[in-house]
Amino acid sequence: MSPDTSIDETTLRAVEAGARLARHLERTLAQADLTLPQFRLLLHLERGTDVASELARKAQIKPPSLTALVDGLASRSLVQRTPDENDRRRVHLAITPAGVTALAEGRRVAAKRLVELAKGRDSSPNPEIVETLAGWVDLLDAWRDAHLQ
């Protein structure tokens, strides 16, 4: 298959940067005893209790994968499962106080790494790079909401 020449070099480098940044986050979150998928799930649960099916949709995780993630987090008391009173097939998921602490530690180590990376060869971080990356949160949420109804 030949490369798509319609994509500009800057966009291709941005794709590479995203993939490489994900690897940095994976390694860094291990310091907080979290995987990247666990961290993402805790971020979603931080917004409030959710039923498993809706959380799977929002987090863009297949239900069997969500079950495995929740099993691991629940075994560490980072997530709590509560059966729905009206529908036994539905399970509500909530982040626990220990989960909030784990998420805060994950954020701390990830933010520290991001600042280190944003410094490049200088001694001070480039705030524009961090601000641009932060802007992607709203873009990603909007894309998810528009495409995953």
For 114-134, what is each residue's pLDDT tens digit?
A: 988 888 777 777 888 888 888
Q: How many domains is the chain partitioned into structurally?
A: 1
CA 146 to chain centre: 19
Q: Please report whether residue 60 resides in a domain.
A: yes
pLDDT band at 57 (very low <50, low <70, confident <90, very high): confident
Q: 38: domain CATH number? A: 1.10.10.10
Q: Please report whether residue 52 resides in a domain.
A: yes
Q: Residue 143: which domain range?
A: 23-147
Q: Please report whether residue 18 resides in a domain.
A: no
Q: Please report whether residue 80 resides in a domain.
A: yes
Q: Check residue 93 and give left, alpha or beta (phi > 0: left; psi -120 to 50: alpha).
A: beta
For 6-42, what is each residue's pLDDT tens digit?
A: 889 999 999 999 999 999 999 999 999 999 999 999 9
